[in-house]
Structure formats: C-alpha cells, structure tokens
Structure 1
Amino acid sequence: MTLKRHRGLTEQAATAAVDQACRMLRLPTIRAQFPELAEAAARDQMSYRGFLAELLMAECDDRARRRSERRIKAAQFPREKSLRAFDFEANGNVDAAVIHTLATCEWVKKGLPLCLIGDSGTGKSHLLIALGTEAAMAGFRVRYTLATKLVNELVEAADEKVLTKTIARYGRVDLLCIDELGYMELDRRGAELLFQVLTEREEKNSVAIASNESFGGWTKTFTDPRLCAAIVDRLTFGGNIIETGTDSYRLASARAARA
C-alpha cells in the first residue's frame, strides 16, 4: 500500500492537508499520531480500512482518557488514591472481593448508598476516594467533600438565599462522596441542611460516606435523635456497609518503616 499520492497530492502536501484537517475537525490525537501510524501501516501493508480504524480508535481512546481525567478533576479529590495501592493484606477487615465488586459501579448505577465505617488509619478515606475515582473513570459524575465543608457551604447558601440552587447542584452528581462524617458535632440547622441534600438524592443518586463513628455513635454528631435516625436510614437503606475496623494499619506501617 502506498500513501504517497492522493488526488494528485504529493506525500508532503497530503501530510500537510491531514494536519490542517485535523486542526479544523479537532482531532488532536490523529494529528499527533498520523505520521507514525502511516509509516506502520505502510510497513505492515495494512488495508485502507484497517489504517482508518487504527486512527479513529486512537482518537476515541484518547478522548475517553481525557474525559476520565476531567471527571476526576471535577470530583475535587484531595489526593490520588487507587484500589491497586490499597493494602488488603494489612487490613484483614476489608474483603477485597467485596471492594472489587463495588468497583464495577453497579451500586452507583442503581443509586444505592455506601458507608465506610472505621477508626482513623484503617483505610476508609482511601477506599472512598479510590471507589469515587473508579466511578469517575466509568463515566459517572462524582463530587468529593468533607462533611463540615459541605455543611458550611449549605449554611452560607441558606444565608445568601441560594440554598435551593446549591442543593440542586449536589443533587445532580451521580455519586456524592462525603468524608469525615462524625468528626465534629453539627448543630441542628447544619444537620437539617445536610438531611435536605440526602433527601434530594434518595433513591436517585448515590451517596458514599466515610465515618470514624459507628451508627450508634452518630448522636454525637447529630444531636437530635429523630433526625439522626432519619439520616442513618437515608445512608443505609438498600446500600453497602463496609467496616474497616479499629486497628490503624497506617500507624502500623509507619512503625514498621521506622523499625
């Protein structure tokens, strides 16, 4: 197969035309990879259809990668965490099979909740971010926030008369990840505003939370028993509860590194 001439163009002119067309059609990957792929196609005597397929698949793959990167960035994770980097051997409380099943994101597709409960250093925030990242890579809109930050934002929104708009914005994402729920006591107003967000998402879009308190201890955070019970119901109905335990493997790892 020869790519030297096309409709009377020299090879150099054809290359320039491809470059210009890719700019106009916004095909940056084809533009960047065309020379190398064209040489490989000629060397391997690839058919015209095969060469075209290689170009288009390269563009599609790169666009999918860029979309994933944009969704991960939009999620506002505080740091990168992956399931591959989670040490399941160091934390026997966490079932690797269960976590990898959650990584398929079927629960996000169904709008189900997820609760990660355990002491500091047991990996719950790592899993929250890693599973949120998996959801973003799978095409879901994800948003991460600290519980206190979310409540403060809701209080400010209520004061500025834009609460409905703020709650609707949080309601639109496919997965809302709320970290450090239970670390600080919330006053009744803050708890009620958080409850509104959870109610907006109930049975429509998923919520995943990480908390250092068992459900029985949530009355320290939500001081109204009835409101506390309603929030627990919103976050557990039909969902998954993962207990990461009480032994800090992060602390154990640090000690081992110093030994």
Structure 2
Amino acid sequence: MSHYHQLLNQCESLELTRIRELLPMSLDEATQNEKTHVDWLCELTAQELTYRKKERQRKTLVRAMFPYHKRLSDFDFSFQPSLKKAEIQDLHTLRFLDTHDNLLFIGNSGVGKSHLAISIGMECIDKGYSCLFITSTELVNRLSRAHKRGTSDTLLKKYAGLSVLIIDEVGYLPFSREGSNLLFQLINLRYEKKSTIITSNIPLSQWSEVFGNKKLTNALLDRLVHHSKLIQITGSSYRMKAYSDQKELSKNTARNKTK
C-alpha cells in the first residue's frame, strides 16, 4: 500500500472527514502553487475545523427540535406595533444569558411568541449554546413517564443542564398535580443557573388555573420572574391575517375567472 493510500486510511481512522475529502485536490493545489508544508497543513486543518464546527451546529440544531426554522429577519414588526424592535434585537445579542435571565413571551395565540422564541434559540445555537424547544405538555408528559419509571432525576438533570430551554404553550392545557410538581422541580434546578424561555397565551395572574395549586404557582413564578424579561404582545394573529389574505386572494382569483 502506498503512503498516499495509507494516509487516506489514517484520516478515516482519525475521523478527519473533511481532510480526507479534500486531500487529493489539496495535494494538487499545493504542488502547483509550491506551498510550504506548513502553509498546506495550516489551510487543510482550518478546513477540518470549519467543517467540524458546522457539523456540531447542525447536530445541535436537530437536537433542539424546533418545529420550524425562523429568524428575527422573518418577523414582521409592522404587524405587531406593541413590540419594541430595539428591545427584541437586544435579546438576540444573548446578553440575557450572562445573567441567567429568563424570557417570558405573553400574548394571544398567533401573535408571534413562538417565532421570536425560536429565532432566539437559533441564535443561541449559532453561538455554540445547547438548546431545546418543547411544548409544556410534552415536557410534563416526558417527566411524568420518567417519574413512573423511576428515572425522573436523570431526565431533570439533563434538562437542567441545557444552556437554554424553551417551553412553549404554557396555559393551553392544565397539568396534573404530579406534572406541576415535576415542572416546578425543573424550574427550581435551573433557577439562577440557566436561562429559560417561556411562551404563554394567558397572563401570569391566571397560571394557578393551569398548575392547580396556588402555592406552587407562586413559588414557580417567584423563580421565573426574579431574573426575567417580560415581553407582552397585544397585537393581532398572524395566522388570522394569513387566512384573511388567502381568502381575499381566492376571491380575486374567482372574480378574474368570471371576467
């Protein structure tokens, strides 16, 4: 076996995926341009590092479980005049992570709460932070199943260790007593250690109806609100706007056909 083919095999064994892929072309280029060994190796290893960074981000993005990928640039601020654009842009600098602040997006269904939470989550992944997006119902169900199996401590520790945890749709469905307790444990574990982003369609004053225990709700809110930024969105629903636009488009199309 030639040294060249041995080198290819060694790259594969060392999992130097990008270097192995670029090696033939890189050797040709180095020969033609008379590059030094140091310059050649420096460029090749830089390509490997870039590839690994992108792969880590790709895998982290998959693990984040976003239902869709949307950025801040996709958000229509003109449709939500109650929001201060500069304030939302500042959140995307991720300064709130330095002080472990929580973000609470409160507003009616369809106003863009999840969109903004996801855009911040994607920004976190770009900067190398771990992130998970999950609905409150699914989160509580997972914790409850783990509790029945006797593995809730392990799962709580896993979720508590995430740099950013996005809990979507708090308030759509009430929780059982066990579920409420487990969610409180998770919030307590993350308190002043990690940032949690929550979206809810009901005001904080009504959360006791969801958790079914006023004392527990107060304790949970105390930990969430202590270091937090509350973003209230009072505008109209994007979904209803899209529906109205589509309906109007259909009417116009029908009119044109009859002409």
TM-score normalized by the length of structure 1 = 0.84
Contact 2:80 2:235 in 1 (8 A): no
Does structure 1 residue 76 correspond to structure 2 residue 65? yes
Instruction: Say which SS state the counterpart of residue 186 (structure 1) adopts.
Output: coil
Q: Alignment partner of 2:211: what SS? A: coil
**What is the CA–CA distance in structure 2 between the aligned matches of 1:226 and 1:15, rounded to whole Å?**
70
Give the Cα separation in 1 of the matches to 2:184 and 2:110.
Answer: 27
Query: Matched residues in 2 for 1:40 and 1:101: separation?
Result: 44
Q: Which residue matches 1:241? A: 230
Give the superposition deviation at 1:15: 4.9
Judged with a 3 Å threshold, the aligned counterparts in structure 2 of structure 1 residues 16 and 96 are, in CA distance, closer, same or farther, namely farther
Whole-Å separation in 1 of the counterparts to 2:242 and 2:120: 22
Report if aligned partners of 1:111, 1:174 keep a CA contact under 8 Å in 2: no
Instruction: Report the CA distance shift for 1:44/1:83 in structure 2 as closer, same or farther (over 3 A).
Output: farther
SS in structure 2 at match of 1:89 = helix
1:92 maps onto 2:81 in alignment: yes
Query: 2-side partners of 1:159 and 1:219: how far apart?
Result: 25
For 2:114, what is the secondary structure of its paired residue? helix
Answering whether residue 187 of structure 2 is matched by residue 181 of structure 1, we say: no
Q: Residue 253 of structure 1: CA displacement?
A: 3.0
1:52 match? 41
Greater Cα offset, 114-123 or 31-40: 31-40
Structure 1 equivalent of residue 135 of structure 2: 146
CA 257–45 in structure 1, closer or farther in 2 if over 3 Å, else same: farther
Aligned pairs, how many?
A: 248
Q: 1:52 to 1:209 in 2, by over 3 A?
A: same
Distance 1:247 1:50, change over 3 A: same
C-alpha contact (below 8 Å) 1:71/1:137 kept by paired residues = no
**Distance in 2 (alpha carbons) for counterparts of 1:44 and 1:88:** 51
Between the aligned partners of 1:15 and 1:106, the Cα distance in structure 2 is 49
Alignment RMSD: 2.4
User: Residue 152 of structure 2: which of 156, 163, 180 is its match?
Assistant: 163
* Structure in which a larger fraction of residues adopt helix: 2
Q: Deviations over 1:84-119 (max 9, x none)?
A: 322233323333333332223232343221111111
The alpha-carbon distance between structure 1 residues 164 and 258, as it changes in their structure 2 partners (threshold 3 A), is same
Q: Percent identity?
A: 31
SS class of match (2:79) = coil
Please tell me whether the aligned partners of residues 182 and 211 of structure 1 are also in contact (alpha carbons under 8 angstroms). Answer: yes
Deviation (angstroms), 1:42: 5.0
Q: Encode CA deviations 1:24-51: one digit per residue, 9 max, x unaligned.
A: 3221112212333444455555544333
TM-score (norm 2): 0.84
Q: 1:225 to 1:246 in 2, by over 3 A?
A: farther
Q: Distance in 1 between matches of 2:163 and 2:226?
A: 17
2:55 equivalent to 1:66: yes
Question: What does residue 253 of structure 2 align with?
Answer: none
Give CA deviations for 1:170-223 in whole Å, capped at 9, x if unaligned: 212121111000111223332222111111111111111111112122232123
Q: Per-residue displacement from partner, 1:145-190 (whole Å, max 9, x unpaired)?
A: 1111112222223333222222222212121111000111223332
CA distance in 2, matches of 1:183, 1:224: 16
Local SS of the residue matching 1:122: coil
SS, match of residue 84 in structure 1:
helix
Against the structure 1 CA distance between its residues 104 and 41, is the aligned structure 2 distance closer, same or farther, given a 3 Å change threshold? farther
Over 3 Å counting, the alpha-carbon distance change for 1:63 and 1:45 in structure 2 is same
In the alignment, structure 1 residue 134 sits paired with structure 2 residue 123: yes
Structure 1 residues without counterparts, runs of 5 or longer: 1-12
Deviating more after overlay: 40-49 vs 200-209: 40-49
